[in-house]
Structure 1
């Protein structure tokens, strides 16, 4: 029996800034930890490896020490060989790169890594700069605040499914995926400036691998005005309601129609059409909804080209917050999803995705959701839990 050699790297601090509204983790890990952020990358990587548990006897996992992969793989009972020892207590960019070099030198069949766009760039810096390594495929487990790159699976479990296909010797097409990243300093100022840095070879299973995020603002201003008018009417029709406004250009247009300042890449709270709190952290948001003597509603949009409504760029909307919103009178109707039909059509019939990190909650959210696409115009569109 041929042993599958799985290279495995976790960036333990990937996405750590999301829940505390830092919009990213590059150079911000210590600040995020001081604000009370909890690392989530290992938990998300575990979801991917759990898919491979039936094939433990056929896999050897080559990885880095402790939180960079060793602990996660050993806890699940895999056969593990540690090829790299992290240089820093809180891992840095060079740890990801040196770990990748060690795995590639050992001849792994694929590198499976957990992180965000910064981690993808680190892996690409190694893979693309050495002719001997450029043909080794990679696949990302989404764990960062921002996932613009096309080298990631749509969810952690989806990443595991792709590796499963390879382990069981299914025919898996290889293609190239773009490595994208943005300037996090501009990102924290509400400016999205994405750039293509390179590309890497990836196993291409369209059910499981995400598209590169579509950038830019909606061009049809009249449609956005109609969508905003519908939400604003709902805000005016009810007392004792507060509205949590998620990130994105579609929700930013709503805020501009309300003549309110907006955190383009954060979460704001509006009550009686006034801004109550801006750019809140997960802890601040939970306090706000539990203290409020009324109903809290959530207004969100989807990531263009990918379809995620939870789990990308809005980690402040944690499972406990979503559960609280669902438990209020109105249930699922307390989640207001807004998007143009053009944005939905770009998904090419793929479902919306909830990737909260809580599989039970994702399953609870799955099914058809009402999407506000114009003035008092809604469509039903499927939302799926990670597979």
Structure 2
């Protein structure tokens, strides 16, 4: 590989920790709630991993926080191909940059964002009838497509080392429906993506029966313990067993038979935590993430308050997963979570699964 195009959606993922479940149309609200950008740091991490392996690449980048700044921080001297039209970056700015990359004949487009950014890149490739491969650095709240590296560092390594590509799916979901608890996934494109084991599969939306698991968990809840329930249908089944109407894709906090806060942001959770604390999460089907995808509200600060983490999943879901994964934006927290973990799969049954 001789050249690469880099484009960053600097607002991707801002809505996660403040409980907005996405940033489309919610940037100002996210900022009012105290959200901080996460995409620029993840872009730099990916580019540093790339620089360690391919320092002599020709790098084309969108201007400022859309790529050039992170490329320089990683050690490159990028050629800036475009600049945002206004103070706030838009999907149109991403599309302009991608067209410039295609004109310059780059060997790979490395984008940083979520599914919405993936759609923007794929749309330009289709419009221009280009066969340029694309690879995503995961930074959004929604990551349903199979075009992303598992972590930013993985994406940088894959960009440096790949020697072939295969067609992968770009999926997107309706954020407004998502905020109301309904997942409407749509296949938007099929694009060439570098092949590597660290590329994740598209999220699987189906799950098996977890009634017995929920009943077993509910029988063991402890008085005076605070439970932080993550999103998803498996954890939701436990909440329903406890008499709670779960927020389908949000985070709920429960203690002593009462919902302390529903559909909570990171700050909401931290404000009501009282020791001891149990976090209850279920891995994303097909990907295996237990933290860092779809549950950013359960931040490193929240995780560090917990003395117990319960991972729950049906046996069918675990059958499709070799390992579990974490990506919290805090390497120390990630490292503390790695190792062998006992996952509850039924009323009395558990299975050992490695977290990597």
TM range (shorter): over 0.9
2:61 is the counterpart of 1:70:
no
Paired with 1:360 and 1:163, the residues of 2 have a C-alpha distance of: 25
2:256 is the counterpart of 1:282:
no
Paired with 1:108 and 1:198, the residues of 2 have a C-alpha distance of: 20
Q: Which residue of 2 aligns with 1:46?
A: 44
Contact in 2 for aligned 1:56/1:78 (Cα 8 Å): no
Contact in 2 for aligned 1:161/1:208 (Cα 8 Å): no
Count residues with an aligned counterpart.
356
Match of 1:264 among 248, 269, 275: 248
Match of 1:154 among 150, 170, 173: 150
Q: Which residue of 1 aligns with 2:290?
A: 309
Q: What secondary structure does 2:203 align onto?
A: coil
2:238 is the counterpart of 1:226:
no
1:375, CA displacement in angstroms?
A: 0.9
Q: Which residue of 1 aligns with 2:338?
A: 366
Paired with 1:54 and 1:303, the residues of 2 have a C-alpha distance of: 31
1:56, CA displacement in angstroms?
A: 5.3
Q: What secondary structure does 2:78 align onto?
A: strand
Normalised by the length of structure 1, the TM-score is: 0.90
Contact in 2 for aligned 1:369/1:382 (Cα 8 Å): yes
Q: Which residue of 2 aligns with 1:175?
A: 166
Greater mean deviation of Cα atoms: 7-16 or 88-97: 88-97
Distance 1:242 1:269, change over 3 A: same
Paired with 2:336 and 2:259, the residues of 1 have a C-alpha distance of: 31
Q: Which residue of 2 aligns with 1:169?
A: none
Q: What secondary structure does 2:127 align onto?
A: coil
Paired with 1:376 and 1:262, the residues of 2 have a C-alpha distance of: 23
2:310 is the counterpart of 1:336:
yes
Q: Which residue of 2 aligns with 1:208?
A: 198
Q: What secondary structure does 1:39 align onto?
A: coil
Greater mean deviation of Cα atoms: 3-12 or 193-202: 3-12
Measured against aligned partners, the alpha-carbon deviations of 1:23-75 in whole angstroms (never above 9, x if no partner) come to: 11111111111111001001111221121232454112210111101111112
1:88, CA displacement in angstroms?
A: 2.4
Contact in 1 for aligned 2:208/2:314 (Cα 8 Å): no
Q: What secondary structure does 1:232 align onto?
A: helix
Q: What secondary structure does 2:345 align onto?
A: strand
Unaligned runs of 5+ in 1: 167-171, 329-333
Q: Which residue of 1 aligns with 2:5?
A: 7
1:259, CA displacement in angstroms?
A: 2.2
